[in-house]
Structure 1
Amino acid sequence: MDICDVISVEDVVLDLRPEGKTRLLKELSVLASRRIGVQAGEIVSVLSTREKLGSTGLGLGVAIPHAKMHGLQRPFGLLARLQARCPFEAIDGQDVDIAVLLLMPEASPQEHLNVLAKIARLLRDETAVARLRGAADAESLHGVLAEGRHAALA
């Protein structure tokens, strides 16, 4: 399974303005809810439960909030570039301005779980993250994912 199988151009969002981690998770959940037909409150709940295990803030201003969801048939992802950084309790203490929401089916096969690893590898690449920050529009941001997926497969 490929990153672009999980995150489409329609699932790229620019200029969110959350004031903090909780608000960011809520905003991402509302956006995801509209795309996958699951109640936003249910999404917030699984994400918050996952965050209690440890922050999904990777560092370098990037977070990958993720969780498994009951009833979801296939992985769903959403890429958000924030207008300004917001606190996220990342492992390096830096605030976040790039967030990739990833929701996985509850009984995810290994193939689905590998998507998280691919996204994480891509978002640890400082050049790829700089390109995401500099992209002009959703199509350009998605293009960085499309180009980076090959490197993430390695």
Structure 2
Amino acid sequence: MILPKLVTEKFILLNQKSNSKKNVLELISSYLQKEIKIKKDTVFENLYAREKLGTTALGNGVALPHARIDSLKTTQTLLLQLASGIDFDAVDGKKVDVIFVLLVPNVNSDNHVKMLAEIATILDNKQTVKKIRKAKKTQEIISILNSSQN
């Protein structure tokens, strides 16, 4: 499994406040600019363009925004747990409060699809998502994700 290598405590944000899809994409972009030195406009524009193609909300209060970015050197993930749900244009109409971001270099398209499938499978498990929602510490999230792989 690829996921345990990609998710680190530094890229798990708990109890975040946001009031819209656009606002949360801006929050993601700003955080990644600070942590991995990628331009926030680049991240935002790529994620927003992907959302315009169709929502990345998976249902059950979960979204998986993702994009390929030319200037990115390595795959990057970010998991956000929101303090309260936001409208993400989910097909089931539920507000989203768990967001898993996947950014990959544009040259890495085969891995991109495999990683999306792996993440979607984990986030499809309602018990796993429930535990993520209740987590109070980043290490709890790491443990939840690792145990969901077994």
TM-score (norm 2): 0.95
Distance, in Å, in 1 between the alignment partners of 2:119 and 2:13 is 17
How do 1:1-154 residues align onto structure 2 when only pairs under 5 Å count?
Answer: 2-150=2-150
Tell me the CA shift for residue 109 of structure 1.
4.4
* Aligned residue pair count: 150
Q: 1:84 to 1:100 in 2, by over 3 A?
A: same
User: 2:122, 2:148 within 8 Å by CA — same for their partners in 1?
Assistant: yes
Tell me the CA shift for residue 149 of structure 1.
2.6
Distance, in Å, in 1 between the alignment partners of 2:35 and 2:148 is 24
Q: Could you list the runs of 5+ residues in structure 1 that have no partner in the other structure? A: none
Distance, in Å, in 1 between the alignment partners of 2:129 and 2:85 is 14
Distance, in Å, in 2 between the alignment partners of 1:70 and 1:59 is 29
Q: 1:47 to 1:109 in 2, by over 3 A?
A: closer
Segments of 4+ in structure 1 off by > 4 A? none
User: 1:70, 1:106 within 8 Å by CA — same for their partners in 2?
Assistant: yes
Distance, in Å, in 1 between the alignment partners of 2:6 and 2:116 is 10
Distance, in Å, in 2 between the alignment partners of 1:30 and 1:101 is 13
Q: Could you list the runs of 5+ residues in structure 2 that have no partner in the other structure? A: none
Secondary structure (helix, strand or coil) at the match of 1:92 reads coil
Distance, in Å, in 2 between the alignment partners of 1:113 and 1:103 is 11
RMSD between aligned alpha carbons? 1.2
